[in-house]
Structure 1
Amino acid sequence: MPKTLKETFAAKLPAEVERIKKLRKVHGSKIVDEVTLDQVYGGARGIKSLVWEQVRMLSEDWAARSDLPGYVVELVDRCPPDLHPMAQLSLAVTALERDCAFAKAYARGTNKKEYWEYVFEDSMNIIAKLPTIAARIYHNVFREGRSVPVAVQKDKDFTFNLVNQLGFGNNEEFTELMRLYITLHADHEGGNVSAHATHLVGSTLSSPMLSLASGFNGLAGPLHGLANQESLNWLQKMKATIGDDLSDKAITDYLWSTLNSGQVLPGYGHSVLRQTDPRYLAQRTFALRHLPNDPMFKLVSQLYKLAPEVLTQHGKTKNPYPNIDAHSGVLLQHYGLRETRFYTVLFGISRAMGVLAQVIIDRALGFPIERPKSYSTDAWVGFVGAKL
């Protein structure tokens, strides 16, 4: 009989612990990177200081864990419909703390070598429940509570159930899109805000529920998870202005008017990448196959051709190429999911898989609380010998 995911992880863990111990013993004093003052003040951009790895999880196990406690259902249903869906998602995940296996084990004085096992159970339970929580939020906010999510079909996979619970039925194309969406948004190195916030709070031995909620709160920011919502809103405004004229001139003029007014082009540029986001290209491949004649996709394609040149001429963008946010909203709205305020919730469901996998690994390897050293600006002035 094949081993479960937890058994597979447990079998591999001792060798990985020894590998890291050996690495630190032999090479722990070696200098890997040099840090500049710009990096210190620029959000630790580019500083090699995190360990971030992934594991896969099983939809079958999630389906078996998917039922929501009654108190979480009541909490979500009592939220005012004008409370942002991401705030509701964060509240619901925080409330799951009541049933936290790790917190209870820690209170009992469980050996720290066993922490990961309880964190694993909590993480699997959280991920399993996210589609039902999200669907309940969706129906309450955008369907005025007229319907409730259908029950999880225990013989179906995670994404099928998410799409079905949202009320989009057995739409195979949309389900395929969401499988792609969840894969592309699940994890994106450990230094982004939602990933790092989850890791940081988890390093205090806070529960997976509270750790993930902190990551969700970071994801809700306009510079992070809300970017795909803002990108679609910008595209829709552009379409309303230029109408059906998708000529090079009409679009180029609109881009320059946006930049000259002091605004950025949503969906373009990336804090780390210096090329077209490969996740954008994956979504483009899907769109070319399934919706090549969609008017908004045609606009996105024209931007893909024209925006990099305009941004290069503008000269203030390090990466003039599109990122994943330039495409996400257009694809979702094509299949009828038009409520842009909900898009970050889908992002959150995806991101939970990557960040909770890392929290499990953090506890399995015994990573310590994160506590960088900080100095005042006067101290940094002295370190670099500035004359200010």
Structure 2
Amino acid sequence: MASILRTSRTKPVWSSLARARFSSTAPKNTTLKERLAELIPLELENVKRVRAEHGKKSFGPVLVDQLYGGMRGLPALIWDGSVLDADEGIRFRGKTIPECQELLPKAPGGAEPLPEGLFWLLVTGEVPTQEQVTELSKDWAARSAIPEFVEEILDRCPPTLHPMSQFSLAVTALNHNSAFAKAYQDGVSKKEYWGPTFEDSMDLIAKLPNIAGRIYRNVYGQGKLPAIDPAKDYSHNLSTLLGFGDNQAFVELMRLYITIHSDHEGGNVSAHTGKLVGSALSDPFLAFAASLNGLAGPLHGLANQEVLVWLSKMQSKIGKNASDEAVKEYVWATLKGGQVVPGYGHAVLRKTDPRYTAQREFALKHLPEDPLFKLVGQIYNIVPDILLEAGKAKNPWPNVDAHSGALLSHYGLTQMQFYTVLFGVSRAFGVAAQLIWDRALGAPLERPKSYSTQAIEKIFKDKA
């Protein structure tokens, strides 16, 4: 078996224009909204130029198998925040995860990038200054309170209601105070849609820690919710609301976790759903609530929970520190039982997910002797060969979900049903950034053409 870092050295081709747009740093002494107002006219001209040069060109054929195969690989969306390369993995505005870890501002004494900086990068394509990130932290803290009626909705939910259902309910209810919904009713110009969309997106992201923290404490009995600290960064406040703010390693994990889970181009279920619902001019709260309902599916965000369930069952069956042979037998038993190995395979990636690699490097630094982490590494050295031998996967390598649960459980966050809520907090960054740009660029209502099986047969019969 090859090295644990099975990542491609092949670099995607980036145009000189892309390099110029995606490698700059943010001008000093501007807020995110002020910088966005400067960038929108430039991007409108850029989109106009691209459409004039390439708008009538074909972007590739459509195969009937793609229509029946869940539109897999079908080029159909514009998504500016990130692009997923099958071999290299995700790039946020042209930057790899290691580059983001190096370039984005960090908390004092911290080593992982602050999600505030990642959001600035997703929105502008620029690396912000430390001061700009600090101001963004303060802005989100100032917006973080949730309405009393939303608190009451959450407090009345039975603890047996899945945390993701509660999360979606609360985010939907935030629509009550939507700046975009009010502006639309007041007849705001289409050219100005981006402004209230920006305000809603900022409010959305800011309020998620309070929502997530309230759900966690209601469901798992962790006591009264502490207040947001305006002097702390977003991840620190989220960690505190969950009861882990005193553990600096957990806070660092949250900074990394939110950053790497924030965006994964536009074709995944949560991202595409947010874009689709937003295209109907539903406000960001309604659009993101729809995203959360997609993220809650076991083939999407719920997969990290499925991984930890599988690992726990394995440990209970074969014990801790089991031999490679025992692990192999358990993996084969899983496959022969008609089940998949959770956390392995990806719709796009054909190499190890760089998000998995980033989490592994974090574990090597902070928890190298953790038994569950050791099992995750042991499985990585075993499962790909078995999947290839069994012919079960085009991509036998692990994705992000194969690792995240082991890290969270190490620090005491063992409530697996809550894991997708953290994924949801993270994914808001990517969905919100794209919603802002969709309204700024005047993106239209999405309305792809559908066909029945009978119509497909008739098309090809008529061509024969």
- The one-letter amino acid of 1:256's match is W
- The one-letter amino acid of 2:224's match is V
- The one-letter amino acid of 2:275's match is H
- The one-letter amino acid of 1:371's match is R
Aligned-partner Cα distance in 2 for 1:194–1:3:
31
Aligned-partner Cα distance in 2 for 1:386–1:248:
57
Do 2:305 and 2:405's aligned partners in 1 also have CA atoms closer than 8 Å?
yes
Offset, 1:384: 3.7
- Match runs of 1:345-364 below 5 Å: 345-364=421-440
Are 2:188 and 1:125 equivalent residues in the alignment?
no
Match of 1:324 in 2: 400
Q: Which moved more, 1:57-66 or 1:207-216?
A: 57-66
Are 2:442 and 1:366 equivalent residues in the alignment?
yes
Are 2:373 and 1:297 equivalent residues in the alignment?
yes
Are 2:230 and 1:154 equivalent residues in the alignment?
yes
CA 1:301–1:386 in structure 2 vs 1: closer, same or farther (change >3 Å)? farther
Do 1:193 and 1:219's aligned partners in 2 also have CA atoms closer than 8 Å?
yes
Are 2:5 and 1:5 equivalent residues in the alignment?
no
Are 2:112 and 1:85 equivalent residues in the alignment?
no
Aligned partner (choices 309, 318, 324) of residue 233 of structure 1: 309
Do 2:363 and 2:373's aligned partners in 1 also have CA atoms closer than 8 Å?
yes
Do 1:160 and 1:170's aligned partners in 2 also have CA atoms closer than 8 Å?
no
- Match runs of 1:58-69 below 5 Å: 58-69=136-147
Do 1:163 and 1:175's aligned partners in 2 also have CA atoms closer than 8 Å?
yes
Aligned-partner Cα distance in 2 for 1:374–1:252:
44
- Match runs of 1:71-150 below 5 Å: 71-143=149-221, 147-150=223-226
- The one-letter amino acid of 1:230's match is E
1:358 aligned counterpart, secondary structure: helix
Offset, 1:233: 0.3
Aligned-partner Cα distance in 1 for 2:38–2:296:
37
Offset, 1:316: 1.9
Q: Which moved more, 1:99-108 or 1:43-52?
A: 43-52
2:193 aligned counterpart, secondary structure: helix
Offset, 1:80: 1.0
- The one-letter amino acid of 1:249's match is E
Offset, 1:385: 4.2
Aligned partner (choices 350, 370, 376) of residue 452 of structure 2: 376
Q: Which moved more, 1:270-279 or 1:55-64?
A: 55-64
Aligned-partner Cα distance in 2 for 1:26–1:274:
32
Are 2:125 and 1:49 equivalent residues in the alignment?
no
Match of 1:180 in 2: 256
- The one-letter amino acid of 1:264's match is V
- CA offsets per residue over residues 159-218 of structure 1, 9 Å max, x none? 000001111132110011111110110000100000000000000001111000000000
The structure with more helix, counted as a fraction of residues:
1
Aligned-partner Cα distance in 1 for 2:30–2:219:
41
2:382 aligned counterpart, secondary structure: helix
- The one-letter amino acid of 1:27's match is H
2:368 aligned counterpart, secondary structure: coil
Aligned partner (choices 170, 190, 197) of residue 273 of structure 2: 197
Match of 1:258 in 2: 334
| Count of matched residue positions in the alignment of Structure 1 and Structure 2 | 385
Offset, 1:245: 4.4
Aligned-partner Cα distance in 1 for 2:161–2:203:
25
- CA offsets per residue over residues 3-29 of structure 1, 9 Å max, x none? 100110110110110111121122210
- Match runs of 1:280-295 below 5 Å: 280-295=356-371
Aligned-partner Cα distance in 2 for 1:259–1:70:
49
Aligned-partner Cα distance in 1 for 2:176–2:159:
24
Offset, 1:129: 0.4
Aligned-partner Cα distance in 2 for 1:42–1:239:
35
- The root-mean-square deviation of aligned C-alpha atoms, in Å, is 1.3
Q: Which moved more, 1:166-175 or 1:3-12?
A: 166-175
Aligned-partner Cα distance in 2 for 1:4–1:245:
51
- CA offsets per residue over residues 313-364 of structure 1, 9 Å max, x none? 0012111111111101000000000000000000000000110110000000
- The one-letter amino acid of 2:63's match is T
- The one-letter amino acid of 2:412's match is G
- The one-letter amino acid of 1:158's match is Y
Match of 2:284 in 1: 208
Match of 2:105 in 1: none
Offset, 1:386: 10
Match of 1:277 in 2: 353
Match of 1:29 in 2: 56
CA 1:386–1:184 in structure 2 vs 1: closer, same or farther (change >3 Å)? farther
Do 2:194 and 2:439's aligned partners in 1 also have CA atoms closer than 8 Å?
yes
Do 2:288 and 2:428's aligned partners in 1 also have CA atoms closer than 8 Å?
yes
Moved over 4 A (4+): none
- CA offsets per residue over residues 231-261 of structure 1, 9 Å max, x none? 0000000011110342111111111111111
- CA offsets per residue over residues 80-99 of structure 1, 9 Å max, x none? 11111101111111111110
Match of 2:65 in 1: 38
Match of 2:320 in 1: 244
Do 1:246 and 1:302's aligned partners in 2 also have CA atoms closer than 8 Å?
no
Which consecutive residues of structure 2, in runs of 5 or more, have no partner in the other structure? 1-27, 82-117, 121-135
- The one-letter amino acid of 2:47's match is I
Which consecutive residues of structure 1, in runs of 5 or more, have no partner in the other structure? none
Aligned-partner Cα distance in 1 for 2:176–2:345:
41
Aligned-partner Cα distance in 2 for 1:142–1:33:
50
Do 2:321 and 2:375's aligned partners in 1 also have CA atoms closer than 8 Å?
no
